[in-house]
Structure 1
Amino acid sequence: MSVLPPALDAERFEIDTPAGRVSAYRAWPSSGAANLPPVLLVHSVNASGSAAEVKPMFEHCRRRRAVYALDLPGFGFSERRDRVYTPRLMTDAIHALLAHMREAHGVEAIDVLGVSLAVEFVVRAQQEAPHTVRRMALVSPTGFSGPKRRYGPPGSTLFQAWLLKILSWPFWTEGIYRNLTRPSVIRYFLERTWGSKRIDDALWRYDVITTRQPGARFAPLHFVSAGMFSRDINTLYEAVTCPVWVSMATRGDFTDYQGKVTVEQRPNWQFHAIEGGALPYFEDLAAFTDKLDPFWG
C-alpha cells in the first residue's frame, strides 16, 4: 500500500466535527487579494473521491482569494471508519468547515463550489444556514436528470439497505471494492466522466492511491447503495434564494439536465453549457473560469 500524498500543494489541516475528524487544505494570495470572501471547494462522491478533483480550481482561486478544499468524510485524509455515510454526515462536515472559515477570516458568509453529488450537500448546508453562504457554484449537479424530480420527505434518501447488506457481506466485500477500484476500472469511469479517453492522468494516479488506504471502501459502498442521494433535493433546489451558477457538461455520462426547467427561469439561477465533461476545469480552465469569475464579483 502506497502512503497517501497530499492532494494539493497547500497547507493541510484537520478539525474535529460532528462528522468526525475532517481534513481540508487552505491557501491564499501573498499579496493583492481581491475583495472577495473565502471560497470552499467540495469534491464529488464516487469510489475514489478526494480534494484532488478540484485541484485546477484550487490553483486558480489561490491567486485571487483565500481558498479551502475539503476531503469529505470517508475520503482523502478525513476519517474513514466503518459507519453510516449519509447526506447528514456530509452536510455536517461542510457546516463545520464553513464555521471554521467564517471565524478565521472574520466574514459572515462564504462562497462555495460543489461538484456532482456534493452539490446536494452544499445546497442542504445553505438551506439550513442561509446566512453562512453568499453564492454557490454547482458543477455538474445531480438531481436534474431524467423525467422525475425528487420531492421526498425532508432528510430522506434513496438508500437501498438490501444492496448495502449484500455489498458489505464479509466474505466478499473487500473483493467487490478491489474490483471497483482496479486501475483499469478507475480509468474507465474517468473516461465516462470526461466523455473522452483524454482524462487527467495525475488525477487517475491519485485516485488509484487513495482507494488503497485503510477504510477506503466504507463510504463508497454507501454511495453505491444510494445512501448519499437525497430524496428531497429538488425541494431544496427550489427553495434557494441566494445567487446560483450552474455548469452543465456537454460530453460524457452527465449531460442530462432536463429538470433545470424547475428553476432556470428564476432570477437567482444561471445555467451554462460548458464544452467538455463533468469536470470541465481540467480540460479548459480558462474557458471555465471566464464564465465563473464574473459570478463571484
Structure 2
Amino acid sequence: MHSIARPTGRTALALAATIGALGLTRKFARDSHVPLAAALPGTRETVATAQAGTVSYYASPEGSGRPLLLIDSINAAGSAYETRPLYLHYRESRPVYALDLPGFGFSERSRRRYTPRLMADAIHAVVERIRARHGGVAVDAMAISLSCSYLARACLARPADYATLGLISPTGFDARLSGEGPVDGHRGRDLVRSILDRRLLGPALFGALASRVSIRFFLEKTFGATKIDEGLLDYAYATSHQPGAEHAPYCFIAGHLFPTDSTLLYDRLRLPVWMIHGQRGDFVDYRLAPRFADRRNWRIDTVPTGALPQFERLRAVTDFYDGFLGAIRPAAGARG
C-alpha cells in the first residue's frame, strides 16, 4: 500500500468489518517474524530522540561535496527501500543518507499517535547528525510523496539546515489533500484509530493490507502499470511483517499523518525547490503545480512514469535533479 494513496478510514473500516463478518481473521493473521534485511548498503545508524523515539537511518558518508538526505514515503509498508535507486546512484559521487521514518523499517515502531510533527522531529534529529559529521554544512534533502510535507515543515522550522529541497510526487498539490489550515494540524480521526487499535479488527485489516496480493495491487496503482519493481514488493512485504508494523499505518488510515496545511508549507519555502512527478497511474492530480511553476526558486519536471519515477526512469530523474543543482549551486553554496 503506497503512501500516495489517500486517507481511507471509512473504506478501511468497511473492509475490516467484511473480513470479520466472513471469519477471515485467521487467514490474514500476520507472521511478525519474517526476517528483515538491510534495505540499503553502507552502515545503519540510529539516533535516540525524546519526541520520535529511536530513529534509524542508512549512511554512506564517503565522497566529497554536500550531503544528500533521502526520505521514504508513508504507507502500510514503507521503508528506506523506496529511495534505493537514488541512494545507490548518489553514493558513488557524494555523501548520501536515507531515513526510515518512525514506525517503519528499523526505526521505533511503538504504539503511539504518529503525526506530521513527529515525523518532522525525526528529520531534525537525523539532519543534526549529518551536519555534525560534515562540518556543519547545510544538506540537500529529498522526500517522496506525503513525506514531502514533513520535509517542508522541518525546513521552515530550521531553514539553516537545508540548502535545497527535492520533492518526488508530493502530496498537497491535488484537489483533496491540499491544505491552507489549520496550521500544524492533521486530518486524524481518533475514533477510527481507536477502532483499528482493537484486538481483532485492526490485525485483521492490517493483515489484509500487508498481504502480497494487497501490496501488489497498491503498487500497480502507484506505478500505473502491472510491471512493478519486484524487489520493492518483497521488501514491503518483509517490513510490514515486523513486530509493531501496524501502529503507524493505523494513523495513516485514520488520517493523523496527513497535514491540514501542506499548501501553506510549500507556499512559504524560499530556498531552491525541485519537484518531479509522473504522468501515469492513479496519482497524477497536480492541479496546484502551476501556482508554483513560475516562482524563481521552484523547478518542476515531469516524466512519463508512475508515482515512483526513480524505479522506472532513474537516469531522467537524476539528470533533472543534477541540472537543478547545477543551476543553483553557487547560491546554495553561499547559504551553506
TM-score bracket relative to the smaller structure: over 0.9
Q: Secondary structure at the match of 2:305?
A: coil
Deviation sequence 1:127-171 (CA, Å, 0-9, x none): 001110110010000000117741112211111222212222223
The answer to whether 1:74 aligns with 2:103 is: yes
Identify which of 126, 143, 154 aligns with 1:114.
143
Larger deviation: 258-267 or 146-155? 146-155
Q: Secondary structure at the match of 1:91?
A: helix
- Please, which runs of 5 or more residues in structure 2 have no aligned partner? 1-32, 327-336
Q: What is the alpha-carbon distance in structure 2 between the residues aligned to residue 12 and residue 171 of structure 1?
A: 34
Q: What is the alpha-carbon distance in structure 2 between the residues aligned to residue 207 and residue 149 of structure 1?
A: 27
Query: Which of the two has higher C-alpha Rg?
Result: 2
Identify which of 206, 228, 237 aligns with 1:177.
206
Q: Secondary structure at the match of 1:111?
A: strand
Q: Does structure 2 conserve the Cα–Cα contact (< 8 Å) formed by 1:108 and 1:131?
A: no
- For these two proteins, the number of residue pairs brought into alignment is 293
Q: What is the alpha-carbon distance in structure 2 between the residues aligned to residue 210 and residue 179 of structure 1?
A: 15
Identify which of 58, 64, 70 aligns with 1:25.
58
Structure 1 length-normalised TM: 0.96
The answer to whether 1:54 aligns with 2:83 is: yes
Identify which of 29, 34, 47 aligns with 1:15.
47
Q: What is the alpha-carbon distance in structure 2 between the residues aligned to residue 116 and residue 269 of structure 1?
A: 17
Q: What is the alpha-carbon distance in structure 1 between the residues aligned to residue 323 and residue 290 of structure 2?
A: 24
Letter of the structure 1 residue corresponding to residue 46 of structure 2: E
Q: Does structure 2 conserve the Cα–Cα contact (< 8 Å) formed by 1:281 and 1:288?
A: yes
Structure 2 length-normalised TM: 0.85
Shift of 1:56: 0.3
Q: Does structure 2 conserve the Cα–Cα contact (< 8 Å) formed by 1:28 and 1:64?
A: no
Q: Secondary structure at the match of 1:99?
A: helix
CA pair 286-148 structure 1, distance change in 2 beyond 3 A: closer
Letter of the structure 1 residue corresponding to residue 41 of structure 2: D
Q: What is the alpha-carbon distance in structure 1 between the residues aligned to residue 183 and residue 287 of structure 2?
A: 23
CA-based RMSD: 1.2
Identity fraction in percent: 41
Q: Which residue of 1 aligns with 2:294?
A: 265
Q: What is the alpha-carbon distance in structure 2 between the residues aligned to residue 249 and residue 225 of structure 1?
A: 27
Q: Which residue of 2 aligns with 1:3?
A: 35
Q: Which residue of 1 aligns with 2:262?
A: 233
Q: Secondary structure at the match of 1:127?
A: helix
Q: Which residue of 2 aligns with 1:244?
A: 273
Q: What is the alpha-carbon distance in structure 2 between the residues aligned to residue 17 and residue 275 of structure 1?
A: 40
Q: What is the alpha-carbon distance in structure 2 between the residues aligned to residue 147 and residue 256 of structure 1?
A: 9
Shift of 1:248: 1.3
Structure 1 segments of 4 or more deviating over 2 A? none
Q: Secondary structure at the match of 2:315?
A: helix
Shift of 1:260: 1.5
Q: Does structure 2 conserve the Cα–Cα contact (< 8 Å) formed by 1:28 and 1:63?
A: no
Q: What is the alpha-carbon distance in structure 2 between the residues aligned to residue 125 and residue 220 of structure 1?
A: 21
Q: Does structure 2 conserve the Cα–Cα contact (< 8 Å) formed by 1:41 and 1:68?
A: yes
Q: What is the alpha-carbon distance in structure 1 between the residues aligned to residue 193 and residue 35 of structure 2?
A: 28
Q: Secondary structure at the match of 1:57?
A: helix
Deviation sequence 1:161-191 (CA, Å, 0-9, x none): 2221222222321111001111010001011
Q: Which residue of 1 aligns with 2:218?
A: 189
Q: Which residue of 2 aligns with 1:135?
A: 164
